[in-house]
Amino acid sequence: MAEYDAISKRLIQTYPKDIVYFTLGRDDIEVRAILETEQPKVEMHRTDSLILVRIDGEEALVHTEFQTTDSTDTPMPIRMAGYKIRIIEQYGLPVYSFVIYLRPNAGRRDKGRFIQRLPGHRFFVQYKVIRLSEIEGQDIVAGGHHGLLPFAPLMKRPAGMASEEWLRQCIRRTDDVSLDHATKVDFLGGLALLSGLVYEPSTITSIISQEGLMDAIMRESSFAQYLKEQGIEQGIEQGIEQGIEQGIEQGIEQGIEQGIEQGIEQGIEQGIEQGIEQGIEQGIERGVRERAIEDILEVLEVRFGLIPAHPFAVPIAAIDDLQRLKWLLRAAVQVDKLDEFQRLLNGDA
């Protein structure tokens, strides 16, 4: 999940005014600086984003946290209360705090407040919850805040529009933005990775390839390293090798009629192109599956003290069905007892 934090932070650092507009809903706010987010205490804490702004002539801070799932180690209201108090202590300025949930099923139970009701010691901290799946994506795509475009595929699509068409529209709109080439490729790379939270890897790679953007994203985007870290680099290499072999074989057959030399050359070119595409798709699928397994085991460890050597780990790691893994992750977050999860894992419910 760290890769999604890194992508979100990079986009904020590049376009801080856009995230300020998105959270506060105002275009007249002056962005003064992006502050260091490490809070020097006995135990180091790091917020996702802290932006110094001027609102109506007064300085204030905009604090943003990005979440892919519900917080399972420490409840989000407690985390936000701690963040907000430490920020006020460190800077002595008013704080506008937000939690942005990236996945559609995350944050539904977050009420945006922490309350302690002890008589004589009442304590109340409030923050705003933003679930991207509830935001009208067309407003972002049609607006001029380019820094928000990579998040658009995670938002609510226009009524009647198929999900794949919505992803294609988001990619095309980002590609049409007047930006320098390096920035645009980074935007597209970030969009592709964030889209993996709601779209199947094969869908993303297919559309990007159809739009003729795959090569630039994989070779030039700074976000490509996260794809490689998820095992996609190996998939690309294997795919290229397989593609070359298949391409040479096909080329030789075609070369009987067209000329062996020309056929081999064309076959290699076609094989490399097909191999890269197949390798990326296979690598993304492996990376998403491995991350889902890690998330399930981490949730079970935090909630029920499950140790890595527990017998549960073996059948979970053997599951290839990504949809079943996603379903089990939701179950791990929602069940009250470990026995309930075991029944679901065994297919008894």
Q: What is the pLDDT of residue 24?
A: 93
Q: What is residue 227's predicted lDDT score, i.e. its pLDDT?
A: 53
Name the token pair of 49. Answer: 């984003």
- First-to-last C-alpha distance (Å) of the chain: 29
- Domain ranges for the chain: 1-134, 136-222, 231-288, 290-346
Q: Is the pLDDT of residue 54 over 50?
A: yes
- Model pLDDT, residue 233: 46
Query: Per mean pLDDT, which of 6-10, 263-267, 270-274, 307-311 is the most reliable?
Result: 6-10
What's the average model confidence in pLDDT over 212-236?
A: 65
pLDDT, mean of residues 190-195: 90
C-beta separation of 119 from 211 below 8 A: no
Kindly calculate the radius of gyration of the chain based on its CA atoms and give it in whole angstroms: 23
**Beta strands per DSSP E along 35-146:** 38-39, 45-46, 49-55, 58-67, 95-101, 113-116, 123-126, 128-131
Kindly report the CATH number that applies to the domain delimited by 1-134: 3.40.1350
Concatenate the DSSP letters of all residues of 110-132 into one string: --SEEEE--TT--EEEE-EEEEG
CB 92 within 8 A of CB 77: no
Ranges 24-38, 246-260, 261-275: which has the least confidence: 246-260
Alpha carbons 283 and 61: distance in angstroms, whole number: 40
Provide the b/e sequence for 103-133 (b: ≥16 CB within 10 Å): bbebbeebebebeeeeeeeeeebebebbbbb
More confident residue, 179 or 152: 152
pTM for this prediction: 0.64
Residue 94 pairs in a beta bridge with none
Residue 31, pLDDT above cutoff 90: yes
Q: Give the pLDDT confidence score for residue 311 in this predicted structure.
A: 74
Give the residue-averaged pLDDT of 273-288.
67
Confidence of residue 44 (pLDDT cuts 50, 70, 90): very low
pLDDT at residue 231 greater than cutoff 50:
no
Mean pLDDT of 300-310: 75
Average pLDDT score over residue span 197-212: 89
Read off the pLDDT of each residue in 239-257 and give the average, rounded to a whole number.
61
DSSP string for 222-282:
TTHHHHIIIIIHHHHHHHHHHHHHHHHHHHHHHHHHH-HHHHHHHHHHHHHHHHHHHHHHH
| Predicted pLDDT of residue 217 | 82
Q: Is residue 228 scored above 60 in pLDDT? A: no
pLDDT of residue 259: 58
pLDDT bracket for residue 134 (50, 70, 90)? very high
Taking each helix axis from N to C end, the angle separating 322-334 and 260-304, rounded to the nearest 10 degrees, works out to 20
Which CA distances in Å does 147 have to 176, 225, 274, 290?
A: 14, 20, 32, 29
**Which of 89-103, 128-142, 190-204 is least confident?**
190-204
Pairwise CA distance, residues 275 & 249, whole Å: 14
Cα 320 from Cα 45, distance rounded (Å): 36
- Pick from 51, 212, 221: which is nearest to 150 by CA? 221
Burial class (CB in 10 A: 0-12, 13-18, 19+), 201: buried
pLDDT in the model for residue 166: 96
Model confidence at 42, in pLDDT bands (50, 70, 90)? very low
Lowest-confidence range among 70-74, 112-116, 121-125, 126-130? 70-74
Q: How many other C-beta atoms are found inside a 10 Å radius of the C-beta of residue 327? A: 12
Burial tier of 28 (Cβ tally within 10 Å: 0-12, 13-18, 19+): exposed
Angle formed at CA 20 by CA 14 and CA 21, multiple of 5 degrees: 110
**pLDDT surpasses 80 at 69:** yes
Q: How high is the mean pLDDT of the chain?
A: 82
Binning pLDDT at 50, 70 and 90, where does residue 326 land?
confident
In the chain, how many H helices and how many E strands?
14, 9
